[in-house]
Chain A
Amino acid sequence: MIEGRTILGSIGLAILVVFAIVAILAPHIAPYDPHQMYRPLEHPSSRHLLGTDNIGNDILSELIYGTRVSLFIAFVVSVISMIVGTSLGLIAGYFDKLGFLIMRVVDVFLTIPRLPLIIVIASFIRPSVWNLIAIFLIFGWLMTARIIRSEVLTLRRRYYIDATKMIGGSDCYILWRHILPNVVPLVVVQFIMEATHVILAESGLSFLGLGDPIARSWGMVLHDAFECPIIYVSDIWMWWMLPPGLCIVFTVLGLTFVGYALEETLDPKLKSQAYGREL
């Protein structure tokens, strides 16, 4: 059992590292500028390893730059959500009145179906990478805040917290030195879940044509392919649809494996969290 999850975790981590390297080094490893136009709908050849799309962009280069877009959005959203969610979760768990207020907001927003609302907002504003990040952030912090709060609620009743209070430790000191370190495992697992969610939501939104039309993510490449009327007639789907789809699948798989391994290792209690997803 222990071996199983270590192997899974390592595989997941390896996948993520590869994608991260591709994202960081995109300009150096992409054979062409993704906006440069060549002959459209060319089949794979030594010049264009994955052929070209309907407006003549090199698909491989699009995917390499797309890695950047997809991972960047997921990373920024998860980091900010993690910081905001953890802070609000700590406050909500430690101060009762404020906590009640924050949790009502969280409850309401968690009940509103996330993806339909995101689709509506995204169709009203002109989509760009930063707009997408802003939209995902509306919902990103909620689950983290709720989970951290419930953990803080039990942590603050421990004896060592009472002891710290008795020797004059301030609320800030207790939160920072005694409670925060104890919720770190939860925060890490939540970070991974959020990243998974954003990768899926962003590619879904882009697949519907609501992604950034300039900085095209994997989902956007898939959208272009799907909208191409002759996509199923010939074998184009093999190099135009499979690669972007598999990129999404492997990233999610990597995150899932790492998340699963961490969950079991850091805190077996976590297992009963919501596993539902919208995509």
Chain B
Amino acid sequence: MHQISKLTYYLVILFIVLSINFFLPRVMPGDPLSYLTDPGADIPARITEEKMEILLAYYGLDKPLSEQYINYMVGIIRGDLGWSIYYNAPVLEVILGRLKWTLLLVGTSTAIHVTLGILIGATSAWARGRKKDMGLLIFILSISSFPSFFLGILLVIFFGIKLDIFPISGAQTAFATYSSPFEEIFDILHHLVLPAATLVISHIGGTYLLMRNSMLGVLGEDYIMTARAKGLSERYILHRHALANALLPIVTMTAMTVGFMVTGTIFVETVFAYPGIGNLLYNTVLYRDYPLLQGIFLFITVAIVGANLIADMLYIRLDPRVKHE
């Protein structure tokens, strides 16, 4: 029952987001195409008659609003997100072409980030109140104050330019010919290091603080005291009693983190010219390619809402107590 109502809830959210996406260009002054022909725009888009026709057909402005709305919704269900002005191709196709790089970046970063966050958070809580704990706390709070784009720029400057040990842009060496697949994999990983490091460092604060707090809570529980009274070693208590129980909230957090990271890629991919969806969004903003911009927004939103839904479902499975609340 709980799961079904959650699902309905997320469907409602999806519907609202779709509606926002539909009405946004239509409530702006003029019609959604006026920016294309507006000579006062920052970058006037060069547009051919043929493209204009495709766009007119997509927005269907000659039809009544209700019909436009229904057509839009039906189109979305069929996977029709519109036509990109800049790339002159279907929006969905352009997005899917970039997807693998974003998945690689977000996947790698999430794995590293969660592992590190758990380890450092647990270490910090275990040493609660002592110098080690305060030191870690101040350190993590400090590095979390760096906005990801600035952190990325700093990493580019120091590791890419000054030390020259990592490439500063792209996901692969341009026009490279590889003698073996290993060489290609190494090249891709080599390009991944700095963007992934940026994402990890700028998001680690959340997981760290959550793990620390969760662990502090668990350490105050009676069963930890019992374990101590039984004479178990500290190491055993930490690993077998405290860690397992403190991990529960991290599950939900991880899904939320994936959402934050997807947004984070907008900045990180921009700084490193990494060819994923985030970088695509930045270019879209520069070129004022509105259909593509809206398509990416929808795509990101669906991904994040989906991640939340999965987190909810997982949490119920992991912790049956939630069901009865």
Contact = CB atoms under 8 A, between A and B. Distances in A.
B101 to A, nearest CB: 18
B300 interface: yes
B149 A120 contact: no
Interface stretch (A31-39, A76-84, A171-179, A203-211): A203-211
A241 B138 CA distance: 25
Given A4-B134, A209-B285, A222-B150, A120 B293 contact: yes
Contact of A113 (B16, B203, B263, B281): B263
Contact of B301 (A113, A245, A250, A271): A113
Contact of B141 (A232, A248, A257): A257
Given A112-B16, A121-B24, A245-B154, A222 B149 contact: yes
Contact of A203 (B17, B147, B256, B260): B147
Contacts of A248: 147, 150
A278 B147 contact: no
B304 interface: yes
A256 B141 contact: yes
Interface residues of B, number: 64
Contacts of A256: 141, 144-145
Given A226-B153, A245-B154, A279-B148, A113 B300 contact: yes
Residue among A123, A203, A250 having the largest count of chain B Cβ atoms under 10 Å: A123
A113 B266 contact: no
B303 to A, nearest CB: 9
Interface in A76-128: 107-108, 111-113, 115-117, 119-121, 123-125
Nearest to B214: A272
Contacts of A107: 9
Nearest to A241: B153
Contact of B297 (A116, A200, A203): A116
Interface string A239-278: 0010001001110110011001000000000011011111
Contact of A204 (B25, B141, B147): B147
A1 interface: yes
A72 interface: no
Contact of B263 (A116, A226, A241): A116
Contacts of B154: 245
A112 B13 contact: yes
Contacts of B259: 113
Nearest to A12: B141
Interface residues of A, number: 46
Contacts of B300: 113, 116
Contacts of A252: 145, 147
A112 B147 contact: no
B165 to A, nearest CB: 15
Given A8-B138, A208-B270, A275-B205, A124 B24 contact: yes
A208 B257 contact: no
B95 to A, nearest CB: 13
Given A111-B308, A112-B301, A209-B286, A249 B263 contact: no
B209 A108 contact: no
Given A111-B305, A208-B282, A275 B129 contact: no
Nearest to A3: B134
A124 B290 contact: yes
B202 interface: yes
A245 B150 contact: yes
Residue among A111, A115, A226 having the largest count of chain B Cβ atoms under 10 Å: A111
A274 B253 CA distance: 9
Residue among B148, B150, B168, B285 having the largest count of chain A Cβ atoms under 10 Å: B150
Contact of B16 (A1, A108, A237): A108
Given A123-B288, A249-B147, 11 more contacts: A4-B134, A112-B305, A113-B300, A120-B293, A207-B147, A208-B282, A232-B168, A249-B150, A260-B141, A275-B209, A277-B260
Closest 10 CB pairs of A and B: A245-B150, A252-B145, A253-B145, A276-B206, A275-B206, A275-B209, A278-B263, A113-B304, A120-B297, A115-B263
Interface of B: 9-10, 12-13, 16-17, 20-21, 24-25, 28, 129, 134, 138, 141-142, 144-150, 153-154, 156-157, 160-161, 168, 202-203, 205-206, 209-210, 213, 253, 256-257, 259-260, 262-264, 266-267, 270-271, 281-282, 285-286, 288, 290, 293-294, 296-297, 300-301, 304-305, 308
26 contacts: A1-B129, A4-B134, A111-B10, A112-B17, A116-B281, A116-B297, A120-B21, A120-B24, A124-B28, A203-B147, A207-B149, A209-B286, A245-B146, A245-B153, A249-B147, A249-B150, A250-B145, A256-B145, A271-B213, A272-B213, A275-B209, A276-B206, A276-B257, A278-B263, A279-B202, A279-B264
